[in-house]
């Protein structure tokens, strides 16, 4: 015996609570997917921090295992980060913007 699908009442209210909870669940899932997309998008600021951190780690490894003069790369990255904080001018950020990387992701709506 098959059951008929629940129908909406003529006044627009939902007859079956299961249908209503499914709608709420799908709405919540879409909100979570939107949040994950927003969080996982690599923006200019995130890429600059990632690049700076990787350059420091690589230069420290090169300093330890190759030659002590590689510490100059660590100093260069540190000076560039300080200069960027003071002047709000970052060469890597300019390059990334020209490449089409989004500057920021809106958390609204």
Q: Where are the domains of the chain?
A: 44-98
Number of other residues whose CB lies within 10 A of the CB of residue 17: 9
Q: Report CA torsion sign: 100, 105, 106, 109.
A: positive
DSSP conformation class of 5: P
pTM exceeding the 0.75 threshold for the entire prediction: no
Task: Name, in order, each residue with C-beta under 8 angstroms of 93's C-beta and a sequence gap of 6 or more.
Answer: 44, 45, 48, 84
pLDDT tens figures, 10-54: 555 555 555 555 565 666 655 655 555 555 688 999 999 999 999
């Amino acid at each position: 015996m098959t059951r008929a699908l629940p129908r909406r009442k003529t006044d627009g209210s939902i007859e079956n609570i299961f249908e209503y909870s499914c709608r709420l669940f799908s709405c919540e899932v879409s909100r979570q997917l939107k949040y994950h997309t927003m969080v996982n998008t690599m923006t200019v600021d995130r890429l600059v921090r990632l690049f700076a951190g990787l350059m420091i780690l690589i230069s420290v490894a090169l300093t330890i295992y190759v030659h002590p003069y590689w510490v100059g790369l660590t100093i260069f990255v540190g000076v560039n980060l300080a200069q960027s904080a003071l002047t709000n001018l970052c060469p890597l950020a300019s390059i990334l913007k020209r490449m089409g990387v989004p500057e920021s992701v809106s958390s609204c709506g």
